[in-house]
Chains A and B, each alone.
Chain A
Amino acid sequence: MSEQKLSLAKGLNSGLRAAMEHDDKVVLMGEDVGKLGGVFRITEGLQKDFGEDRVIDTPLAEAGIVGTAVGLALRGYRPVVEIQFDGFIYPAFDQIISQVSKMHARSLGNLKVPIVIRVPFGGGIGAVEHHSESNEAYFAHTAGLRVVACSDPADGYWMIQQAIASDDPVIFYEPKRRYHERSVVELDESAGAPLGLHDARVARQGTDVTLLAYGPMVKTCLQSAEAAAQEGKSLEVVDLRSLSPLDLPTILASAKKTGRVVVVHEASTFLGMGAELAALVQQECFYHLEAPVLRVGGYNIPYPPSRFEEEFLPGLDRVLDAVDKSLAF
């Protein structure tokens, strides 16, 4: 028996540890990831156990972090980069878009850059600006990058290992407001990972409306489904887990089953993941749909000061309101 009750933070930490034990080419890098263990303690204890050459406290420069990760990858390493907060990834945007995403293609397949870029993302923690953003759409829009978002401790543990094992670069989103939520994780490796890195998961079965969510919004949707059940509405919750590529078979099967889809994310709706999902669902399930695909997301404004965030972020009320609208068609 190797089941343990872990927080998401600890799941990620254990997954990183396992990856480092399996492959000595795995190196961690980022600001404060060493002695401090990162500001969220995701890398806690790893520098002590694996040394300063494998857990690198970098200078304070995100373009530098990602750019040198590219070089390390070209030399055969598997860098796992921590961006301290979502809003600090932009100095590295150039390296990610111009180099990381394109390296394999522009080298005609000769070169690979198996880098994982970990990004604590999303709001709900009462932070000052630049600490609560959801910028996944920029990266999901970019060919050459794989983009995933874990939502619970088990996914944290398994997905980080799968992302590190992937030969492609992976942008790995971690819902920071869920870091301390705990659930039971099966750590037994002989059984293997329960799901593939790019598999979606039906987190709750239902028949009336499908909620598509990822990262922090999975819990919000599960709570919404629970509340809806009290009113006799049966909601299915799909945790996308992977944003690029999307697990279309799972998504479309659910959409066809319920005929009604609501996409929920913290990111602003305009050109967000919901836009792509709505397009694909209507294209592939047109005759199964009872209602247009609806989106619930952040408003199309910069992430507001934290006293606004409860109303800015989708919560149970707004999700259930969209569900009612969908059912009313």
Chain B
Amino acid sequence: MSDLEDAATAERAASGEPDAVHHHETVVGTPAARAGASRPEHEVPLRAEGVLTDGGPDTVRFLDAEGNRLQTDEANAPYAKIVEDMTPDDAQRLYRDLVLVRRIDAEGHALQRQGELGLWPSLLGQEAAQVGAGRAMRKQDYAFPGYREHGVAWCRDVPPENLLGMFRGVNHGGWDSNSHNFHLYTIVIGNQMLHATGYAMGIQRDGDVGTGDPERDAAVMAFTGDGGTAQGDYNEALVFASVANAPLVFFVQNNQWAISEPNYKQFRIPPYQRARGFGFPGVRVDGNDVLAVYAVTKAALDAARDGQGPTLIEAFTYRMGAHTTSDDPTKYRSAAEVDIWREKDPIKRMRGFMETKGYADATFFDQIDQEADELAARIRVACQQMPNPELPTMFDDIYVEPHPVIEAERTEFVAYHASFEQEGAQS
């Protein structure tokens, strides 16, 4: 048994959690051991399986599930100072983000259920991973998201209303990437990892790395999921970033599911351990511990801006909801597993921490809840009032320069639709 398995089994035993609900990490042998091994008599398995884990001892974590500040250990020690330097105000700001981001997400989900949106990919359970990462960024840093990064969008000051357009079918992305340093969502898994890498290579060529000027040095964050780590583009991005020593932080939210496929169908070695094989460090952080995520991401971004090259962060978390509103997770995972993770809730944890520390009182928490209600109401109205686009605008912005085929089709389209109006007027 590996350490990971030991730790996981021990933790389960200690916590009284039900036994492995599904399997995660795998033990990997060495060539030497394999050479000495006798031929297995049992059927050779075609698939890798592992056991359920809480992330294992390498996981950087500062708060336990109740929000108690954990002892310094080997994993979190390098980041302890960052957390210690955080003020009660910092904690309050992070808590506010967590609550508002969850509320934005809940509103998106509700709007889909009421037919206002065609689809919504919920981030429920991943608030700390996204807020911790997003808040560690500086203004001049740039983020390349997947499609679930509503929390990172929030941290980049993208108005939540603007996220809705693409899920309502009125546009493919309703914000200006360059005014938020937050790229459009990328749905094709993995594509954006390479874009992030190239962007970081541009930053290098602009000389905006390692100058020591905190206003100037910049880095890039590339977001994907556990499933995304299997994709060719992802792996090529890691190669390119490594070779270029690019100012880049790969941020893998391992929510343990890629639609219906658990981790062991995507990899046998967790993403943070694979980074080393590409030539740069990887770190696993408890993705439900916003302090830990913030600290680990801040350290990685600082290093990247300083010219020390890429880092891969694996935020070990859990997708509490369905993959999207189109998905039915009861087909492939047990309610018991979801229950285990509900106990590790990121907001409950941060609130516990703040209460213990006396960082906030009941009035503060009530105020945030009220702010969340107001934000949700604002989003709802904005969504319902979002106008349908003017039809001929579908021909806009296909090319930068005029294009005769597009121009001809637009003209034809407009004339064609006008002919109906005339008919309508005559009859």
Contacts and interface: CB of A to CB of B under 8 A. Distances in A.
A309 B231 CA distance: 30
B332 A308 contact: no
A239 B416 CA distance: 27
A59 B172 contact: no
Contacts of B388: 307
A305 B232 contact: no
Interface in A37-59: 37, 39, 52-53, 57-59
Interface string A290-310: 000000000111101111110
B260 A312 contact: no
A168 B189 CA distance: 29
Contacts of A311: 391, 394, 413, 417
Contacts of B265: 57-59
A194 interface: no
B367 interface: no
Given A126-B169, A128-B118, A57 B260 contact: yes
Interface string B305-339: 00000000000000000000011000110000000
A91 B169 contact: no
B124 to A, nearest CB: 19
Contact of A307 (B169, B189, B413): B169
Contacts of A302: 398
Contact of B258 (A60, A88, A126, A129): A60
Contacts of B168: 307
Interface in B374-400: 388-389, 391, 394-395, 398
B390 to A, nearest CB: 10
A305 B167 contact: no
Given A301-B394, A307-B168, A61 B261 contact: no
A59 B229 CA distance: 9
Given A60-B230, A130-B187, A130-B188, A35 B331 contact: yes
Contacts of A90: 188
Contacts of A39: 259, 326-327
B326 to A, nearest CB: 7
B145 to A, nearest CB: 14
A91 B261 contact: no
Residue with the greatest number of chain A CB neighbours at <10 A, chosen from B46, B227, B259:
B259
Contacts of A52: 46-47
A87 B188 contact: yes
Contact of A60 (B165, B169, B231, B417): B231
Contact of A32 (B166, B261, B409): B261
Contacts of B266: 59-60
Interface string B394-427: 1100100000011001000100110010000000
Contacts of A87: 187-188
B261 A88 contact: no
A93 to B, nearest CB: 11
A129 B394 contact: no
Contact of A59 (B230, B233, B259, B332): B230
Interface in B233-249: 233
B349 to A, nearest CB: 30
Nearest to B267: A59
Interface residues of B, number: 46
Contacts of B389: 305, 307-308
Nearest to A129: B172
A127 interface: yes
The A interface is mostly helix, strand or loop, or mixed, namely loop
A203 to B, nearest CB: 27
Given A60-B230, A130-B188, A305-B172, A299 B260 contact: no
B259 A305 contact: no
B82 to A, nearest CB: 33
A308 B394 contact: yes
Nearest to B185: A128
Contacts of B170: 305, 307
Nearest to B168: A307
A97 to B, nearest CB: 15
A129 B188 CA distance: 9
Interface string A49-87: 000110001111101100000000000000000000001
Contact of A301 (B187, B260, B261, B398): B398
Interface string A82-121: 0000011011000000000000000000000000000000
Contacts of A60: 189, 227-228, 230-231, 258, 261, 266
Contacts of B189: 60, 88
A59 B46 CA distance: 14
B260 A32 contact: yes
B26 interface: no
Nearest to A126: B118
23 contacts: A32-B259, A36-B332, A37-B331, A52-B46, A52-B47, A57-B260, A58-B265, A60-B189, A60-B227, A64-B230, A91-B188, A127-B118, A128-B118, A270-B405, A299-B409, A300-B406, A305-B166, A305-B171, A305-B394, A307-B168, A307-B388, A311-B391, A311-B394
The 10 residue pairs across chains A and B that have the minimum distance between CB atoms: A306-B169, A59-B230, A36-B260, A60-B227, A307-B169, A304-B394, A308-B394, A35-B332, A60-B230, A32-B260
Interface of B: 46-47, 118-119, 165-172, 187-190, 227-228, 230-233, 258-261, 265-267, 326-327, 331-332, 388-389, 391, 394-395, 398, 405-406, 409, 413, 416-417, 420
